[in-house]
Amino acid sequence: MKQIAVIGGGAAGMMAALAAAKQGCRVTIYEKNEKLGKKIYITGKGRCNVTNNCDMDVLFDSVVTNKRFLYSAFYGFANQDVMDLIEQAGCPLKTERGGRVFPQSDKSSDIISALSRLLREFQVEICLKEPVKSLIIEEGICRGLILERQNRKIEADGVIVAAGGLSYPTTGSDGDGYRFAEEAGHQVTELRPALVPFTTEETVVKELQGLALKNIEISLCRGKKEIYHDFGEMLFTHFGVSGPVLLSASSYGAKELKKGPLTLTIDLKPALTMEQLDARILRDFDEAKNKQFKNSLNKLLPSKMIPVIVERSGIAPEKPVNEITKQERKHLAETVKCFSLTINGLRGFNEAIITQGGVQVKEINPSTMESKKIKKLYFAGEVLDLDAVTGGFNLQIAWSTGYLAGLSAAECVE
Ligand SMILES: Cc1cc2nc3c(=O)[nH]c(=O)nc-3n(C[C@H](O)[C@H](O)[C@H](O)COP(=O)(O)OP(=O)(O)OC[C@H]3O[C@@H](n4cnc5c(N)ncnc54)[C@H](O)[C@@H]3O)c2cc1C
């Protein structure tokens, strides 16, 4: 019976183990943590956005880096396959806004339990608190691995590296997978935190800290070149900006930021044209004729935003509303529709949902996930140079590449 060793008991490792075990292999997972799926536990704010219930085009379009590499993995084990597998394992799912799929219970632990049940059913051996030290490679073939504990040698017919990336290192993924890859002669591309909040040059964000804005439109630019455009929700923090649209923007902005700061423009009223907004302001001013300017914007803007917009508008805060000129009103509308901030950096790996960069995919066979350099060595999940926007797509990458690596290690892929 074929022996398969899987390094890492996260999403990719569990799925790889399951796929290989289903083909009749004897599979062992070596996980350095005291339990499986420590990162899955904290995904989706503890609810686990397990995948996205979208069509294949959207699945591919949501991948930021190396989407073409995922062709076989996605078609071989798609979002629907993940949903079927998890539901059949006794964890009913539901689809929310934007196709995001969650367990009906809203508990990520139910996803981990369902997968653990399957692993038990297929007799996968799980070795917890068992960090792997290195791979055993002889004459271009991976023959097994060495455990940190007592340098124990484990022989295997195939080894799957599913050790994750660098993000949220407290969950166990602290870069060992990249080390294994480099020791096997693989190139690891530059590693950057992604799906991570931005820092801004302007300290005004401190005044806005905690303010969440819904239905805003953002545009991230380097000079005149637009890098990312989106519509949705955002959050101001003491250091800058965060929230769904900005996390997604960070995946596109990370590389660009290396060349210098970027401009973020926020349209606070995207549903209104400049003319419609002017008409709306005029109406509000009409109702607040005898008030000072600073007290006339309550209907238009959240209260935390008012002093900031008042200052940026250039209109004196105490100016009576009925004395505001057409020109000043126009400038106010522009300030509301083009609220700009200078993005000067990203927060670190401790706050990043994923790592951008990883094992160079040119050196991995996309039809099998096997290394092109070392036989019987496979890679899956975040350790690879693959990443996607939020919405369940990163876990889907882990499930799909894990499944394909497991099948291939069991030599079931032609
Ligand atoms: C806060 C947060 C929320 C997220 N929410 C979502 C979401 O809702 N939806 C979504 O799609 N994605 C989400 N993600 C991203 C998603 O969690 C990752 O893309 C996914 O977990 C990657 O799976 P993986 O198996 O490749 O790596 P990991 O889940 O990181 O698993 C790697 C495992 O390998 C183990 N390991 C590492 N080195 C060794 C070693 N030397 N020996 C033994 N074991 C080792 C680690 O302990 C770890 O358990 C989120 C990420 C974070 C941080």
pTM comes to 0.93
Q: Is 384 in the pocket of ligand 1 (CB under 6 A)?
A: no
Q: Is 197 in the pocket of ligand 1 (CB under 6 A)?
A: no
Q: 382 CA to middle of ligand 1, Å?
A: 7
Q: Is 164 in the pocket of ligand 1 (CB under 6 A)?
A: yes
Tokens 């401009």 found at: 263
**Token output for 268:** 């606070």
Residue 68, pLDDT score: 98
d(CA 151, CA 174): 20
Can you give the C-alpha Rg of the chain in angstroms? 25
Which is the closest atom of ligand 1 to the Cα of 167? 53
Whether residue 345 contacts residue 193, with contact meaning beta carbons closer than 8 Å, is answered with no
pLDDT digits (tens, 9 = 90+) for 157-191: 999 999 999 999 999 999 999 999 999 999 999 99
Strand pairing report for 51-52 and 63-65: unpaired
Which is the closest atom of ligand 1 to the Cα of 382? 26
Q: Which amino acid, one-letter code, is at 194?
A: A
Q: What's the DSSP call for residue 189?
A: P
Q: Which amino acid, one-letter code, is at 278?
A: D
Q: 39 CA to middle of ligand 1, Å?
A: 5
**Token output for 235:** 């959050």
Which is the closest atom of ligand 1 to the Cα of 165? 30
Whether residue 181 contacts residue 382, with contact meaning beta carbons closer than 8 Å, is answered with no
Which portions of the chain are predicted below pLDDT 50? 413-414
Q: 57 CA to middle of ligand 1, Å?
A: 25
Residue 138, pLDDT score: 97
Q: Is 352 in the pocket of ligand 1 (CB under 6 A)?
A: no
Which is the closest atom of ligand 1 to the Cα of 44? 8
Q: 10 CA to middle of ligand 1, Å?
A: 5
Which is the closest atom of ligand 1 to the Cα of 395? 11
Q: Is 132 in the pocket of ligand 1 (CB under 6 A)?
A: yes
Find how far residue 293's CA is from the centre of its chain.
42
Q: 40 CA to middle of ligand 1, Å?
A: 6
Q: Is 376 in the pocket of ligand 1 (CB under 6 A)?
A: no
Residue 414, pLDDT score: 37
Q: Is 395 in the pocket of ligand 1 (CB under 6 A)?
A: yes
Q: 286 CA to middle of ligand 1, Å?
A: 55
Which residue, among 67, 48, 346, has the nearest Cα to 195 in the 3D structure?
346
Residue to mutate (ligand 1; options 111, 168, 395, 404; most atoms within 8 A of CB):
395
Find how far residue 278's CA is from the centre of its chain.
38
Tokens 């499944």 found at: 403
Which residue's C-alpha comes closest to atom 51 of ligand 1? 353
Q: 175 CA to middle of ligand 1, Å?
A: 11
3-class SS at 54? coil
